[in-house]
Each structure stands twice: as structure tokens, then as C-alpha cells.
Amino acid sequence: MKKAIFIFVFISLLMNGQKFSDYRARYDNFDENDGRALEFVNPYIKKARKEENYKELSQAYRDAVYFTKDKKLVYADSTIWAALLSKDSDIIGNAYLTKGSIYYFTLRKYQKALDEYLKAWTYLKDSDNSYLYHKNMYHIGVVKSYLGYYEEALSIFSKCRIYYNKPHTSELLSNLRHNRKKGYLNSLNQMGICLIFLARYKEASELVEQGVKQSANDKNFDLERSYFYKLRAVLNYIKKNDKEAVEDFNTALAGILKVDDFTNASVIYFLKGKILLRSKKDNEAVYYFKKVDSIFVKRNFVLPAVRESYEMLIHYYKDHNDNMNELYYTKQLLAFDKILSTDFKYLSTKIHKEYDTKALNESKERLEYSSLYGYVIAFISFIILSIISGFRYHKVRRSRVKEVVHDLPLGSDDVVEPKEINHSVTSKLPEQLVNEILGKLDKMEEKRFYLEKGLTQNQLAKKLKTNTTYLSAIINLHKGCNFNSYVNRLRVEYAKEMIANDSEWRKYSIDTISKECGFSNRSNFSKFFFEITAVNVVDFIQQMKQDQK
């Protein structure tokens, strides 16, 4: 017993006598988002809180941000809380940088990211800590690059590159040397992006080759190397070296998808689609443009460089007389432009209003450019809206509806002669009633009413507390198709979403998937899936399996 007590006391004294650096040494070798490291981070947090050492506590929470996958914002807020208690400007600024990085690189919420970066700048703009100062500069440069201010962003990244490439003899710890090299490689990558947009391809190519060489044979910089492969692929695409471009894109995509960087993935999908168009492989190109849209749908994320994907999809379906898909992607483009114009207006205003240093003075011309961009977007949106309105009007005039769909279950092979839409019905409907039914339809879509097998228009009308005449007219006018097409489209989109995002669904048979989506049989499901997506369902599943490898 005495021996056991002695061992317990000895271990307790040993644990209590440990330095904070000893705690960090325990999880130095864990990768980002590896939750197992939290087992060692938590004692570090506990010790720092007990001793009210807020500098170390803020660092411990920052480490928790790095290793957690689902609670990054929670730990980021804790980082800021501890930093504020430390009353140290450098620590507070770094904490806001941490939260901004989560918004930007993990969640792609640019407005919120910029807000955090600007908060950090209030604490770091006069800092004696050159590392934190340049780290903050780098992040603001990333936002400026996204906004299209490539010359100014290039100036920022050039200064960061020079700073991070300087040897600092005081930094003997391996993690500090690693961070400095990572900052250097990231600055090179961002410079390459700016140079490409500025059409300075020779300079960009030299930087890219330098980045590939300096990140080679070091697994700690696999991700950074993937970004250089992506840039090299872009340069090959510009030179029309399509084979080399595709090879580099595929190499880059493996590392980029590993960290779920959907931003760069969307650029790669877009350019692979453009290469296929250049090879006259339109059907294959459409697949990659749709992948860009799937990222937009899932993440509500926009990137100016991939906007053309929607123009390509609209032209493709217009050439194929597929009015439904043409209308869908036109709506998607409108939604894309709305977010894009909102982000640009907000970010430009904030960065001009709240960020001002000798190195980065903003000019009046840039503000005017930002406003002009907003007007251009608004004008384009107005033109597209006018086109959609005209399209809908002529489509409804020509279309016929099936008056007996309320008695005919979905998936039936029976053919019924359609009758002309009674425009007097829709024109006499009160606007309030139309909006009420559309609102109910939106709620029903959220509840996935369309998964009910054998659902008829009559049944849906009863659920919405209206009649089939009103419901049919409203669906035709506002959804651009008849009841059957409307519900089948929703079912197919649901199937696509589940197959893409749920590995179990990719193991299901086609029969099982069709039943889960509300179709009466496999044949109808396969037919409608191909009509709506222009892709065979079996091929779609196989592609999703390959993408997940």
C-alpha cells in the first residue's frame, strides 16, 4: 500500500511539475483535424485554466481548433475569450486571425472572415511581432486577391515572401521553422495566382516550378505541393497543353479533396470541363460543370472564376431543347450572381473603410470600380430576369397540361392527351393566394413530400388546402413544368444528393434507390434520371465512387 501511495504521489508531482511545452510535445506529430490529439490538448487546457495563465490558455484553445473537426468555431471563441483576458495585443490579434482563418479556409464565409481579419488588424498593425504582422497582411491579401485587386495583392504577397524566406536564427524549434516555410510557400502560391490573372505567365511559371521544387520530398508540405500542381495545370491549360494540364489537375485534386478544399476543387472541375469542350466532348464536359453547381448547392459558395460554368450549361441545354434544365441553370446563375454581387459590395466597402496603411492605401478608382461592378451585375441580372420572364410566358402559351394527373399515380406508363392551360384561371387568381400556395409548396419541398410513392396531384392539392385546377396552373406557371415533371425532378435531385453525399446509398441497388425516392419502379426512375441529368444512373454512381477514393 505504501508503495502504491508513493507511486501515485510521484506521478502527481511529475504531472504538476510539467512545463506547458511538455504538453504540446505530446501531440506535435498529429495531423490537422485528428481528434485523437484532443486527449492530450485537454490536460493542457485544464492546467492553464487552473493557473489562470491566459497566454497559455489561448494557445491551448488554438491547438484545439487545429485538431477538432466539428467544433472549430467553438474553440476559436474560447481562444478569443482567453486572449482578451491576457490583455496582450499580439495574443488577441492572433486569436482573431484564427477565427478569420476558419471562416475563410474552412467555411468559405468571406464576409465574416474579413470582419475577423480587420479586428485582428486593430491589434497587430503596430505590433513589434513581425511574424504576426505579416500573417495578418497575408490574410488581408488573400481577400484582396479574391476581390480582383491583383496588383495590390501581389505587392502584399511579395513582401510576405521576402519576410518568410529570411533565416531567423532565433527560431530553433522545428514547428516555427515549419510555419515559416509554410508561409513562404503559401506566399509563392498566392503570387502565382495573381500573376496568372495579370497575364504574366512567364513569371508565374518560374514561381510555380520554384514552389514544386521546394515542397518536394517533404510530406509536411503535400498540400502546398498540390496547389503548385494546380497552378502548373492552369498554365498548361492556357498554353493548350491539355494532356499535361489534365495530368497535373488530377495530381492536385487528390491532395485538395483530402482536405475538403472545395474552392480549388471547383476551379479544377471547371477547367477540366473547358478542356473537354475544347476536345468536342460536350457531354463529358457537362458532367464537370454540374460538379461546380453541386458545390454551389451544397456549400452556398461562389467563386468568380467558375461563373462561366453556368453559361456553358445554359447554352448546352438550350442547344438540346431541354427547357427544364435550361431554366434550372438560369435560376442557378441568378442565385450565383446575387451572392457574388453581395459579397463583392460588402467586402470592398469594408476593406476600403477599415483597412488603411502606408503600404496598402486604397484609391478612389477602386471604390468606383467596385460600384461599377455592382451596377454591371444588377444590369446583367435585369436582362436575365427579362429573358426568363419571356421564356416562361411563351412556354406556358405553348404547353399543354394533363387534366387527369390528379387521378393518375406518378410513374404510370399510360399516355393521356393534354389540354390547353386555362390562362383565365391564373390571371384571375389573387396574388396573395398564389404566394400562399407557393409558400406551402416550398414548405412541402423541405419536408420532402415528393418521396411519397404513388402521390397524385389531387392528394397534394388536399394537403395544400386548394384544388387541382389552381395547383396545376401555379405549378405550370411558376415551376416551368407539369405536376409529374415537377415531382420527378425533385425526386431525381434528391437521389443525386444522397448518392453524392452518403456512401451507403452508393451500395444500394437501383431498385432500392428508386423506391427510396418514391418511384413506382426502376425503369421509370432510370428514364427520368437520364432525362433530367443527361447521365445514366449507373454511371453516376460509379463516378461518385471514384471521386470518393
At 85-143, the pLDDT tens digits run 999 999 999 999 999 988 887 887 777 887 888 889 889 888 888 888 888 889 888 88
pLDDT, one tens digit per residue, over 385-433 is 666 655 554 444 444 333 323 333 343 333 333 334 444 444 456 777 7
pLDDT, one tens digit per residue, over 311-335 is 899 989 988 888 888 889 888 888 8
Host domain of residue 392:
283-398
**Greatest CA separation for the chain:** 96
Out of 398, 428, 457, a domain closes at 398
pLDDT given at position 371: 43
Domain assignment of residue 346, yes or no: yes
503 in the same domain as 391: no
Whole-number Cα distances in Å, 337 to 290, 377, 410: 17, 7, 35
**Smallest Cα–Cα separation from 357: which of 112, 86, 156, 91?**
156
The 10 Å Cβ neighbour count of residue 214 is: 17
Domain assignment of residue 12, yes or no: no
Beta bridge partners of 419: 401
Domain assignment of residue 251, yes or no: no
- What are the DSSP calls for 57-96, one per residue? HHHHHHHHHHH-SS-HHHHHHHHHHHHHHHT-HHHHHHHH
Nearest-angstrom CA–CA distance, 445 and 89:
49
pLDDT exceeds cutoff 80 at 214:
yes
Out of 377, 398, 419, a domain closes at 398
501 in the same domain as 415: yes
The SS3 of residue 401 is strand
328 in the same domain as 313: yes
Domain assignment of residue 42, yes or no: no
pLDDT given at position 173: 56
Residue 419 DSSP code: E
457 in the same domain as 356: no
Out of 342, 363, 398, a domain closes at 398
Nearest-angstrom CA–CA distance, 416 and 73:
56
Nearest-angstrom CA–CA distance, 342 and 9:
61
Domain assignment of residue 477, yes or no: yes
413 in the same domain as 538: yes
Quick one: what percent of the chain has pLDDT higher than 70? 79
Domain assignment of residue 439, yes or no: yes
The SS3 of residue 420 is strand
